Amino acid sequence: MRRNAWKALLLASAVGTSVLSACAADPDDSQQAQQNTTTTPLVTVPPSDIEYPPNGQSTEVLAIDNNFKPDALTVEAGTEVVFVNNGRNDHNVVPPDDPTVATWGVLDENFKPGDTYSHTFTKPGTYVYVCTIHGSATFGMFGTIVVTEP
């Protein structure tokens, strides 16, 4: 419980940071203002319209039973994030607003113990993800990646 409260606080902070950093790049000021005033911390900040090429950097997120480690990560746009299922159970990596992982993420049939999944985050923003088997966007096995401008 304490861990998740801490995580929510961290995420709220991360969201705010990302929103602020994205303001200069996003022409839609009214939308940004609306996001800045939100009181719900667990919101995926839409990625900016600016896309950055892969930068050759890679970092790892472990999916163990039933935690993402680290569960809060900040990377520069263009960085590859490799998710590794090093638990004994199936997991998945699913954006809460994209349950079919059309944009990014991996479903459990493709993320069994020992499997890896990688995605290069090319647009700044805050990306929330959850293992839908063992958590929700507000509790349990979830994490966030803040992608900053290079």
Partner 1 sequence: MKRSIVAAATAVALLLAACGEERDEASSTTAAADTTTAESVPTSVTDTMPAPDTTEGADGVINVPDDQPTIQAAVDAAEPGDLILVAPGTYNEAVNVETENLTIRGLDRNEVVLDGNFELENGIRVLGAGGVAVENMTAINYKRNGFFWTGVDGFRGSYLTAYRTGDYGVYAFDSMNGQLEHIYAAGSPDAGVYIGECYPCNTVLTDTVSEHNGLGYSGTNAGGNLLIINSVFRNNRAGIVPNSGSYELCYPQRETTIVGNIVHSNNQPDTPAIDVALLAMGNGILSAGGIRNDIERNLVFDHDKSGIGLVPFLEENPNDDLPTKEEWELTCEESKALPLVTPGGALLWDSFDNRVIGNVLEDNRAGDIIVASAGSDVSTLGNCASGNTLTFTQPNNLETLAPCDGTGSGDWKDGEYNVAAWLGETPPPSVDWQTATLPELQPQENMPDAATAPAKPATDVPYSVDLDAITVPSKPA
Q: Binding residues for partner 1, per CB under 8 A?
A: 1-4, 62, 64-67, 69, 86-90, 114, 132-136, 138-140
Q: How far is the CB of 100 from partner 1 (least distance, A)?
A: 15
CB under 8 Å to 99, separation ≥6 — which residues?
A: 132
Between strands 79-85 and 58-64, the pairing is parallel
C-alpha 84/C-alpha 88 separation (Å) is: 12
Q: Would you state the structure tokens that stand for residue 49, as one six-digit string?
A: 């319209």
In the complex, the smallest distance separating the C-beta of residue 140 from partner 1, rounded to whole angstroms, is 5
Q: What minimum distance in Å lies between the beta carbon of 62 and partner 1?
A: 6
The full DSSP string for 66-96 is TEEESSEEEEETTEEEEEEE-SSS---BB-T
Shortest approach of partner 1 to residue 93 CB, angstroms? Answer: 15
Q: Which is nearer to partner 1, 46 or 70 (CB)?
A: 70
Q: Which is nearer to partner 1, 26 or 90 (CB)?
A: 90
